[in-house]
Every structure is written in C-alpha cells, then in structure tokens.
A = this chain, B = another copy of it.
Amino acid sequence: MQPKYNKSIDFLQIFNSCVGEIHVCLQQKPAAASSAAPEEATDSRPLPPGWRSYTSPEGMKYYVNSSSKETTWRRPSLSAEAPQRPLAPNNSSPYANGCHSGTKTGRPAETADVALRKPTVNKQINCVTFPLPGEGPEQQLLKPNEWSYCDYFWTDKKDPQGTNSVAGFEVLLQKQLKGKQMQKEMAEFIHERIKIEEEYAKNLSKLSLSPLALQEEGTLGEAWTQLKKSLHDEAEVHLKFSNKLHTEVEKPLLTFRGDNFKKDLKKYDHHIADLRKQLASRYAGVEKARKALADRQKDLEVKTQQLEIKLSNKTEEDIKKARRKSTQAGDDLMRCVDLYNQTQSKWFEEMVTTSMELEKLEVERIEWIQQHLRQYTTLRHETDMFNQSMVEPVDQLLQNVDPGKDRELWVKENKTGEVRPVDMDI
C-alpha cells in the first residue's frame, strides 16, 4: 500500500501515528499477547524486532518502529533492510516527538547495572513525565500551523489563586462551557428582540384601527384610509419577522446541544481525571520500587566487602542470595516503570482524541451561530423590503388625490339647490 501525502490525509497519518505510538507504549505490558493481536490477525510471520503494526480508522495497516521512530505503510520484512519509506516527512513525524517508549528490554542483571549507570533524563510535574529542557529529541507539533487543542494543553497551570493547579484539559472544558453559555445568551438576546417586535406590531395594528379622521371623504379619504391600513400591514411584517426570529434563530440557538452536552463534558472530565489519579499511584509505585532496588544493591555491596575480609562458604551463600534479591528488585522497578508509562500513554491518547473532539465541537458551535446570525440579518433585510412595499399603495392613492374630484363628489351628495333667486315682481 502506498503512503498518502495529500493535505487532507496528512493529519490522519500523524494522528494514526500518535495512536500507534500510544499502542507502542501499551505494548510494554509483560503480557504482550493482546498487543500482537492486530498483526497476527493478518500475517503469521513475526515482525522484525521493535516493529509493530496498527490499523488506521480507515482500516489501513501501517507499521511503527518504536526504537528507530520509523513509520511505514509497507510491512517490514525480517531481513531488516534499509530504512523504510517514512509515513510522513520526518519533521512532521510524531516519532521525532513525545511519548516514545524508550524502555529497553534486556536481561535482569543488565537492568540492575543500567539502573545504577544511567541517570533519568526527564522530570516529573504532578506525576507527568516531561523531557528535561534541551534533553531528548526535539518535539514537533502534532498538527503544525493549526493551533490545535491537542498541541497546547499538556501542562497543568496554577489557578488564579495560585493555590492548587488546574489540568490543561480543564481549561478546554471551561472554554466549552463558556461557549454553551454564550450560545444561550445569544438566544436570550434574540428573544428580547422578538418581544420588542411583537410590542411594536401590537401598537401599530392597534393604531391602524383607530377611528381618527375616519370621515375624511373622496380621494383624500381613500388615501388616508390606505395610510391607516398600511400601519396594519407594517404590523404584519414585524409580526412575521418576530415569528421567523423565533423559529429560525432563537430556537436553533437555544436547542443546539441539549443538556446531554454538559453530561458528555462531565464524562470526558472524569475519564481524564481518573487516568491522572491512576498515573499518580503508578508514580508512587515507581518511587517505592526505585528505593527498594537501592536498598538491595547497598546490601549486596556490604556482603561483597565482607567476603573480601574473611572467606567463608556461609558468606558465599549470602552474596548469591543478595544478588538474586537485587536482581528481583531491578525487575520490580522495571515492571513499575512500564506500568507507569502504560498509564501515561493511555492518558496521552485520551488527551489527544478528546481535545480534538472538543476542538471539533467548538468549530461546529461557531459555524452554527454564524449561520443563524446570518439568518437574523437576512430576516432584517426582508422586513425592511416588505415594509417599503407597504407604503407604495399609499403613495399611489396620494398621487390620485384631486380637490376638484372631491368637490364634485361632495357637492353631488350635499347640494341644496342650484336654482338661483330672481327679483321679485310687483
């Protein structure tokens, strides 16, 4: 299968890779059975050491080497040949980035020595492990130039009071809650506008029914009647406006994302928080194991010195025993670190997927609001246009006003007699 480079697929690759990587971390479990599952399902032949295969949401298989940070769409063969074609240009490959599983598998004795020889090159903040500044490979953003939520909220931050710290994820949740509130307040605002329009319409149509100047006659009377009627028509326009505002703007803004939305956010919240708690306890386990190992190694040293002083089979036995226990402690520490890294990777995975879900939700919210505020302006324009057309018949009849015609009509109806008086004869 050929790798895809086009823009649309670019993030998919990166994201799949993350998920892959996360699985890599998960693979560190001593019981590696489940980890092997996806690969075995399709191909019985084992992958070269360090390689694992994953399936993208589209069902495409791709391969990750967690030590060399290589990714490829082509199945690596056992005869570990020249570096595979990378899944994405190296600078955008998450495998130059964080959450790599740097754990080496090896024989217990070595491990014990390693634990003594190698200082840790990372620091923990609130039980999350970050690379020391300048240490480790440089990290590229998961979604460069996108200002994606999944790239900027890894650290906890002190809350305004600076007393206890807030997880970066909380900041994302706050944004969501605020967005929901804004949407609700916009609906309220539109509702207020609706009430104003209804009041205006009520007053206009009430006035249009007033009997004022009802007895005006002739062409002027007709124009006046139409002018009064036009207020009723205007009222209708504003009533239509308020009705449409209700169904086409207020309601959509109000009902967009019901109460489930907040429940969903809580679920996300608890899920991520639980993982952080788990991470803390795993971290405590690591610390405990690290101390135990140190004690064991100290004990082994003492016993070795005693051996040098006076030879006895008794001591020989003790040293063997001490070394066994030290080796055991090394294995314990290794297991605890693995467990810790698995949990951190799980949290990492959830952080990426969930923050990108929240990002999607925010884009939807903004587009939804934009769409319905546009509807608002469309309705406003309509209203002005309709209103204008309500005045035209009045203009028409005002043009037809004709004092001569009105006099004729009135005189015909009210004349008393057109025979003029004449002189009286004698």
Pairwise interchain contact B98-A227, C-beta atoms closer than 8 A? no
Q: Which residue of chain B has its CB nearest to the CB of A202?
A: B196
Residue in B97, B115, B168, B416 whose CB lies within 8 Å of A168: B416
Does chain B have a CB within 8 A of A300? Answer: no
Distance between Cα atoms of A394 and B373 in the complex (Å): 9
For this chain, the copies found in one complex come to 2
Stretch at the interface among A5-13, A55-63, A82-90, A379-387: A379-387
Does chain B have a CB within 8 A of A318? Answer: no
Does chain B have a CB within 8 A of A417? Answer: yes
Does chain B have a CB within 8 A of A68? Answer: no
Residue in B103, B111, B385 whose CB lies within 8 Å of A423: B103
Pairwise interchain contact B419-A131, C-beta atoms closer than 8 A? yes
- A-side binding surface: helix, strand, loop or mixed? helix
Pairwise interchain contact A344-B102, C-beta atoms closer than 8 A? no
Contacts of A196 in B (CB 8 A): 200, 203-204, 207
Distance between Cα atoms of A142 and B419 in the complex (Å): 11
Pairwise interchain contact B370-A424, C-beta atoms closer than 8 A? no
Q: Which residue of chain B has its CB nearest to the CB of A166?
A: B416
Distance between Cα atoms of A175 and B416 in the complex (Å): 13
Q: Kindly list 13 other residue pairs between chains A and B, CB separation below 8 angstroms, not including A102-B422, A193-B207.
A: A98-B419, A99-B422, A120-B425, A129-B422, A131-B419, A139-B419, A168-B417, A182-B215, A186-B224, A189-B212, A366-B406, A367-B403, A377-B395
Closest 7 CB pairs of A and B: A155-B417, A98-B420, A152-B415, A168-B416, A185-B213, A363-B403, A147-B408
A: residues with CB less than 8 A from B are 25, 97-103, 111, 114-115, 118, 120-122, 124, 128-131, 136, 139, 141-142, 146-149, 151-157, 168, 171, 175, 178, 182, 185-186, 188-189, 192-193, 196, 199-200, 203-204, 207, 210, 212-213, 215-216, 220, 223-224, 227-228, 231, 286, 333-334, 337, 340-341, 344-345, 348, 359, 362-363, 366-367, 369-370, 373-374, 376-377, 380-381, 384-385, 387-388, 391, 394-395, 398, 401, 403-404, 406-408, 410-412, 414-426
